[in-house]
């Protein structure tokens, strides 16, 4: 018990002294016995005693070494296992009460704590990897939403530099997003070194409030484009506005549709008024036309009456055409559909305007397949549309022009089955520029000389089709 409570150093010292005492006592006792029995062999006995001393001493030293060194070797092996990642080990403490026992207890406690710490670290690592994956997924979703929105989103800092921008802004600023990020927003908007006049981002940075406005921008072609601009503040942890999100939605289509709706409303009112006026004017015109016809028949030899009578008749005819156009445009176009052939209707329409075409020396080429299917048509409206197209084409051509009216069937590209009929009216006139092409179907729009057109011909055709 006394030895166990001592330190390792004292164990070694006491064990060595005890071994020496035991070896000396045994050797001396044995030597005395042998010398007593045979004094003449004392030298041999002394040599034997020396050898015995060496053997006993060596044995005791090896034994003590094993007792002292073996725990250290075992500890070293355990340390190597821990270094290789094996934390499910421990050292059995057979030396409690000394330094080696404390070392074993400390080693076991250290391995246990290390195992717990590594387990905690692995758990935290797994959590971190999970959070990282979730963050990556969230970032990918936000980027997909950010880039997929059909409206413009731009983030700017207090220096008015673009931090982030989605692809829509390329349509507005003419630069792809990589070229926009890092530059001042006003440089990208108007290539100038000054802030945009009336910029809501300035007010949002100063007030910290959401602001919105409508901006008008002219594109490269000079066409006006309209945008709803919304500015939202982004605050830091101190509540200070650090960045501004600018959300831009193009409303050009809505504005144009609203303008067209308003124009249509006004035109409807105008058409209704014009129809009433035309109806009231028509009756007096018939009377004037009848009087002019009577004067021309009764006073054929009077040159003055003949000249002015002819003038009155021609002007009445022109006014009748204007009133007819107004009435046709104003009345509702309800189709009375029935199966029929288009060729007879087109031929009848050409016969109606034949005199007008011959007066200008216009050559007409009418082509169509020999067999055409019956289709649902409103013969009266189709005739009116053909007449308006032919007259409009004739007015656009100079003397001796070429007018082509072509009918052909439309076949499905997949199965070759007839899907309908196409009627094309072409002329070799001056053609139309882009501005005229945009306005060609607008009511009362005409390129003809004053007094020679009402601007309702193609508009009526558009309404019929």
Question: pLDDT by residue (tens digit) across 312-333?
Answer: 887 777 677 767 766 666 565 5
Q: Is the pLDDT reported for residue 426 higher than 80?
A: yes
Q: Within a domain: residue 259?
A: no
Q: Specify whether 228 is located in the same domain as 286.
A: no
Task: Choose the final residue of a domain: 116, 147, 178.
Answer: 147
Please tell me the predicted confidence (pLDDT) of residue 191.
63
Q: Within a domain: residue 76?
A: yes
Q: Specify whether 119 is located in the same domain as 178.
A: no
Q: Specify whether 405 is located in the same domain as 325.
A: no
Q: How confident is the model at residue 3 (pLDDT cuts 50, 70, 90)?
A: very low
Task: Choose the final residue of a domain: 276, 303, 330.
Answer: 330
CB 204 within 8 A of CB 231: yes
Q: Specify whether 304 is located in the same domain as 211.
A: no
The predicted-structure confidence for 270-290, as pLDDT tens digits, reads as follows 667 766 776 677 778 778 878
Q: Specify whether 304 is located in the same domain as 391.
A: no
Give the domain range for residue 178.
149-250
Please tell me the predicted confidence (pLDDT) of residue 5.
46
CB 19 within 8 A of CB 64: yes
Task: Choose the final residue of a domain: 330, 362, 384.
Answer: 330
How far is it, in rounded angstroms, from Cα 96 to Cα 100? 7
Residues with Cβ < 8 Å from 260, sequence gap 6 or more?
none
Q: Specify whether 11 is located in the same domain as 135.
A: yes
* Length of the chain (residues): 465
Across 290-308, b (16+ Cβ under 10 Å) vs e yields eebeebbeeeeeeeeeeee
Q: Within a domain: residue 257?
A: no
Angle at CA of residue 207, ends 203 and 210, nearest 5°? 75
The backbone torsions φ and ψ at residue 213, rounded to the nearest 5 degrees and listed phi first, read -165, 170
Q: Specify whether 298 is located in the same domain as 354.
A: no
Higher pLDDT pick, 36 / 126: 126
Q: Within a domain: residue 324?
A: yes
Q: Within a domain: residue 258?
A: no
How far is it, in rounded angstroms, from Cα 274 to Cα 269? 8
Q: Is the pLDDT reported for residue 240 higher than 50?
A: yes
Q: Within a domain: residue 402?
A: yes
Predicted TM-score of the model (pTM): 0.43
Q: Check which CATH number belongs to the domain holding 212 and give it.
A: 3.30.450.20
Tally of structural domains, the chain: 4
Q: Specify whether 440 is located in the same domain as 377.
A: yes
């Amino acid at each position: 018990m006394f030895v166990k409570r001592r330190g390792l150093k004292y164990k070694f010292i006491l064990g060595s002294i005890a071994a020496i005492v035991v070896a000396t006592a045994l050797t001396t006792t044995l030597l005395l016995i042998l010398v007593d029995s045979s004094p003449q062999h004392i030298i041999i006995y002394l040599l034997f005693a020396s050898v015995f001393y060496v053997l006993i001493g060596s044995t005791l030293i090896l034994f003590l070494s094993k007792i002292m060194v073996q725990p250290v070797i075992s500890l070293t092996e355990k340390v190597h296992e821990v270094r290789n990642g094996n934390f499910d080990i421990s050292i059995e403490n057979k030396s409690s009460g000394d330094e080696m026992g404390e070392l074993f207890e400390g080693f076991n406690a250290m391995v246990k704590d290390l195992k717990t710490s590594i387990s905690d670290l692995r758990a935290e690592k797994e959590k971190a990897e999970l959070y990282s994956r979730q963050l990556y997924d969230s970032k990918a979703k936000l980027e997909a939403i950010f880039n997929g929105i059909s409206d413009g989103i731009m983030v700017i800092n207090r220096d008015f530099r673009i931090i982030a921008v989605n692809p829509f802004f390329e349509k507005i600023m003419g630069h792809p997003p990589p070229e926009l990020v890092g530059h001042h927003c006003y440089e990208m908007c108007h290539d100038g070194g000054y802030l945009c006049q009336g910029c809501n981002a300035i007010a949002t940075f100063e007030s910290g409030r959401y602001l919105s406005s409508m901006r008008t921008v002219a594109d490269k072609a000079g066409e006006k484009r309209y945008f709803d601009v919304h500015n939202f503040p982004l605050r830091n942890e101190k509540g200070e506005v650090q960045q501004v999100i600018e959300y831009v939605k193009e409303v050009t289509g809505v504005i144009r549709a609203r303008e067209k709706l308003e124009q249509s409303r006004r035109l409807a009112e105008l058409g209704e008024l014009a129809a009433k006026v035309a109806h009231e004017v028509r009756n007096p015109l018939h009377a004037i036309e009848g009087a002019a016809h009577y004067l021309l028949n009764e006073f054929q030899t009077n040159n003055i009456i003949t000249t002015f009578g002819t003038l009155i008749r021609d002007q009445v005819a022109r006014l009748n055409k204007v009133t007819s156009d107004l009435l046709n445009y104003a009345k509702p176009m309800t189709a009375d559909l029935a199966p029929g052939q288009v060729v007879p209707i087109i031929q009848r329409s050409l016969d109606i305007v034949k005199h007008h075409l011959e007066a200008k020396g216009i050559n007409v080429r009418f082509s169509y397949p020999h067999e055409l299917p019956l289709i649902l048509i409103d013969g009266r409206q189709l005739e009116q549309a053909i007449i308006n197209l032919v007259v409009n084409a004739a007015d656009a051509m100079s003397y001796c022009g070429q007018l082509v009216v072509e009918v052909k069937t439309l076949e499905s590209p997949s199965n070759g089955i007839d899907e309908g009929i196409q009627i094309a009216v072409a002329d070799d006139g001056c053609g139309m520029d882009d501005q005229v092409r945009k306005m060609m179907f607008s009511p009362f729009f005409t390129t003809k000389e004053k007094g020679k057109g009402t601007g309702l011909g193609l508009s009526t055709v558009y309404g019929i089709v």
